[in-house]
Every structure is written in structure tokens, then in C-alpha cells.
Amino acid sequence: MVILHIEHPVSNFNFWKKAFDSDPVGRAKSGVKRYQVLRPWDDPNYVMIDLEFNTVAQAEALLAAMRVIWGRVEADGLISSPQARILEAVETMVLQPDESFYRVAE
């Protein structure tokens, strides 16, 4: 599995989340299998996003599209200094699954 990890400060999390949810790059069409939005418990205006792909090429293409978006929103002050890395998941282990781990979607 390939992960595109992005992180940056935001001026207002709720405003940023609305922009993120509008999906300006088309995550599903870009090959994103799953994503996760994280933020430090003590810094609500800093976000980290992990987007999972099958291939590095898909992650690179989405990153290129994001750089275009960042150019627009950085000028507006919504985000600043975005950092991105493409990572390879080496191991994933579930040690203590909760009830939702076993739930089947209806």
C-alpha cells in the first residue's frame, strides 16, 4: 500500500474541512482507496491527511494536483507551508480490534 501523507497548519479548521470535503481534485477518481484526517489534540488548527493508493504513480499524480490547489489557497491564507511525503506501508497490525472492526456494512 502507498500512502500520501500531507500536513500543514490551517487558519480555521471548520472552513478548511468544508474545502476538503468539496474534493476539488476528485479523490476517488484519482485512485484514493481510503483516507484519514488527523489533527493533534492540542492544536486544532493543524491537519494531517493520509491518503491510501495502490500505486506510487497515483499518489504522485494526486500530489501534483494538490500543489496546484495549494498555490491558490495559500495565497488566501487558508493553509500555509504544506508538507507531503509518499510512503510505503511496511506493516499494519490490529492489536485490539473494537466492535466496529467486526461489523459488516448493511
Pick the CATH number of 2-89 from 1.10.3720.10, 3.30.420.10, 3.40.250.10, 3.30.70.100: 3.30.70.100
Region for residue 26 given its phi and psi (left: phi exceeds 0; alpha: psi -120 to 50; beta: otherwise): left
Domain ranges (residues) in the chain: 2-89
What confidence score (pLDDT) does residue 72 get? 84
Q: Is the pLDDT of residue 100 over 70?
A: no
What confidence score (pLDDT) does residue 8 get? 96
Between 77 and 34, where is the model more confident?
A: 34
Q: Is the pLDDT of residue 98 over 80?
A: no
pLDDT per residue as tens digits for the range 44-79? 999 999 999 999 999 999 999 999 999 888 777 888
Residues of the chain with pLDDT > 70, as a percent, come to 92
Predicted confidence band of residue 106 (pLDDT cuts 50, 70, 90):
low
CA pair distance 92, 80, nearest whole angstrom: 31
Mean pLDDT on 12-29: 93
By CB atoms closer than 10 A (0-12, 13-18, 19+), residue 62 is buried
Q: Which residues contact 38 (CB under 8 A, 6 or more apart)?
A: 47, 48, 49, 50
